[in-house]
Amino acid sequence: MTLSARQEQFTVADPLHEIMELQMGPSHPASHGTIKFNLKLDGETIVDCDVEIGYLHRGFEKMCEQGTWTQVFPYTDRLNYASPLINNVGFALTAEKLAGIQAPERAEWIRMLCSEISRITDHLTCLGMAGVEVGAFTVGLYTNEAREYLYDIVETITGARLTVSYCRLGGVTNDLPARFGEVLADRFRKIRAVLADCDKLLTRNRIFVDRMSGVGLLSQDDAISYGLTGPLLRATGVNYDVRKQCPYLYYDQVDFEVPLGTRGDNYDRFLVRFYEIEQSMRIAEQCLAKLKELSGPVMIADSRFALPPKRDVYNSIEGLMNHFKIVMEGIKVPPGEAYLAVEGANGELGFYLVSDGSGRPYRVRVRGPCFFGMASLGQVLKGHMIADIITTFGMINMIGGECDR
Amino acid sequence: MGLSAVGTLLDTLRARFGGTLLDAHERLGDEAVVVARDHALELFGFLRDDPEMAFDFLIDLTAVDYLGKTPRFEVVAHLFSLPKRHRLRVKVPVDENDCWAHSLSPLWKNANWLEREAFDMYGIRFAGHPDLRRILMYPEFEGHPLRKDYPHNRRQPLIPERDPIENPWPPRRLGGAR
């Protein structure tokens, strides 16, 4: 029976079908993420679904207005904590656009490399959990192992696995460690092996395909009207990737493909993410090759924006004052407003910043892609079964920190 | 995008909407127009449906509180056109004492949640919204946290436990603005 026919069936008054109201969540063991579904059920079929978010609201936007521009970076780590480096890069690029500065070329390539590593960790999280949700626990452990390979790498670059705070206005905190390229190439080799295993375990697995294919369908028009971006939108076949359509950093100089789906169901969302991992590794390898021949600073040498070297702070009055002004008063970003979008792991991650010229941001607005996916979930789930909530919710890949801010 | 393309988008809007646009400018590579509330719906409809504009995405909708200025609030929408690959920021000033704007939910489906958030955070009501209630905060929350006169460390009163049967969350359909 088609979806619309099934929906129509339940709009007819039928005394045998009593509509039951059920509140699923906010702490349901099968949903990773604190979220509540207010369901109206006919048997096991969902007649109406009201999605309730906000359980992880920590006042991100309010708190960003209290500190200096630099102090926003640790907060951005905690937006999408499955891919914190992309958040860092997004905020840094937008603030730099507002300040009218550009990071050195080497720093920009490092940012690209880090973004792609983060994208892979995010997709691995999502794919592994997709397996776990339908009973393929092994896949979850395999992808977690692969993710650990990359978290190790992230730790050698930034000093932390998740709370990276790696970017600054005008660059990144430190250069890549020695022999980084060899280690990363080795890790990518291992990840490709894990992915090949996952491919064999899932992609043509009868149980998995039955649970994912044809579930969570969304048309192209609806996806656009809901403002979906990233894998959710590309699964419907709409070719929109910020890296291709509105390139930032040096994405126009690297060679990669954008996987597209055809139907817009959960299976397509899975495949799009799966193939994007390989493309991200391709980009990262090109970044590595470029970084080998590119030397130079990773931070601009402008005392209005960058902290001076410690040697100057301790030995010259100018260095000391520059350091003091940046730490105590914050970077003076000129008054104005700017919007800039980067391709987050789940779609367009946009920052809208307003500055009043003081050392603190006047307004920090994050356009997190998860929020839009969740907005569409109520419509997507109508007519499906309760068990489909888990797979569809998993494929939206809601990250509470980003959705609820 | 080249400068000429920037010119045409804003020029078209200036030519068509003339006096109703309070401002149209291009700064830092972002094109923006400011439109009076009474003409906002007409402008948004044109931006979405005109083949030269073709803004099919409502990328974001939020508000900014310019406390001390008149009008106090600005509702800020970011639009993106996939076929034309251009972006536009549309700002609608909203006065503190007449704190409402037109809902975009007839035009874009995601306006529903975005406007609920703007209402939650700033207390701006949206006329014509089908289901305007808080989204990130709980219904008993007092005040609107992103307003500049809301202190970041303010405590909220304790609320009685809600009986989910007698008084279910969500109290749907509180009604739109006005």
A246 to chain B: which residues are within 8 Å by CB? Answer: 85, 87
ipTM here: 0.86
- Name the residue ranges covered by the structural domains of chain A: 103-299+369-404
User: A388: which 2 tokens?
Assistant: 């489909």
User: A318: which 2 tokens?
Assistant: 């100018």
pLDDT at B6 over 80: no
DSSP string covering B41-60: HHHHHHHHH-TTT---EEEE
Segment B94-122, tens digit of pLDDT: 998 889 999 999 999 999 999 999 999 99
Q: Which helix (H) or strand (E) holds B87?
A: strand B86-94
> How confident is the model at residue A14, as a pLDDT?
59
Residue B80 Cα, gap to closest chain A Cα (Å): 10
The topology under which CATH files domain A103-299+369-404 is: Cytochrome-c3 Hydrogenase; chain B (1.10.645)
Residue A225 Cα, gap to closest chain B Cα (Å): 5
pLDDT at A51 over 60: yes
- Residues contacting residue B105 through CB under 8 Å, at least 6 positions apart: B111, B112, B115, B126, B128, B129, B130
> How confident is the model at residue A16, as a pLDDT?
63
**Is B89 in Cβ contact with A365 (below 8 Å)?**
no
Nearest Cβ partner of B109 from A97, A226, A245? A226
How far apart, in whole angstroms, are the C-alpha atoms of residue A310 and residue A291? 26
**Is B30 in Cβ contact with A337 (below 8 Å)?**
yes
Residue B58: C-alpha distances to residues A236, A404, B51, B110 (Å)? 18, 19, 16, 7
Segment A145-156, tens digit of pLDDT: 999 999 999 999
Q: Pick the residue from chain A with its C-alpha nearest to B152.
A: A62
Residue B173 CB neighbours (<10 A): 10
Q: Given CB atoms, is B25 within the 8 Å cutoff of chain A? A: no
pLDDT at A136 over 90: no
Nearest Cβ partner of B82 from A98, A240, A354? A240
**Is A341 in Cβ contact with B59 (below 8 Å)?**
yes
> Which residue would you say has higher pLDDT here, A370 or A13?
A370
User: A330: which 2 tokens?
Assistant: 């914050």
Average pLDDT over chain B, rounded to whole? 84
User: 3-class DSSP state for residue A264?
Assistant: coil
**Is B29 in Cβ contact with A367 (below 8 Å)?**
no
Of the candidates A87, A14, A88, A25, the one whose C-alpha atom is nearest the C-alpha of residue A47 is A14
pLDDT at A5 over 70: no
Segment A294-303, tens digit of pLDDT: 888 888 988 8
Segment A342-387, tens digit of pLDDT: 999 999 999 999 999 888 999 999 999 999 999 999 889 988 898 8
Average pLDDT over residues A161-177: 89
> How confident is the model at residue A11, as a pLDDT?
59
B170 to chain A: which residues are within 8 Å by CB? Answer: 38, 50, 52
A337 to chain B: which residues are within 8 Å by CB? Answer: 27, 30
> How confident is the model at residue A186, as a pLDDT?
92
| Model confidence, pTM | 0.88
**Is B89 in Cβ contact with A224 (below 8 Å)?**
no
B64 to chain A: which residues are within 8 Å by CB? Answer: 354, 362-363
B169 to chain A: which residues are within 8 Å by CB? Answer: 38, 52
Average pLDDT over chain A, rounded to whole? 88
pLDDT at A328 over 60: yes
How far apart, in whole angstroms, are the C-alpha atoms of residue A110 and residue A377? 36
> Which residue would you say has higher pLDDT here, A62 or A19?
A62
Segment A21-46, tens digit of pLDDT: 888 878 888 777 888 888 888 888 88
Q: Is the alpha carbon torsion for B10, B11, B16, B20 positive or negative?
A: positive
**Is A225 in Cβ contact with B109 (below 8 Å)?**
yes
Kindly list the structural domains of chain B, giving each domain's residue range(s) and its CATH number in brackets, ordered by start: 3-109 (3.30.460.80)
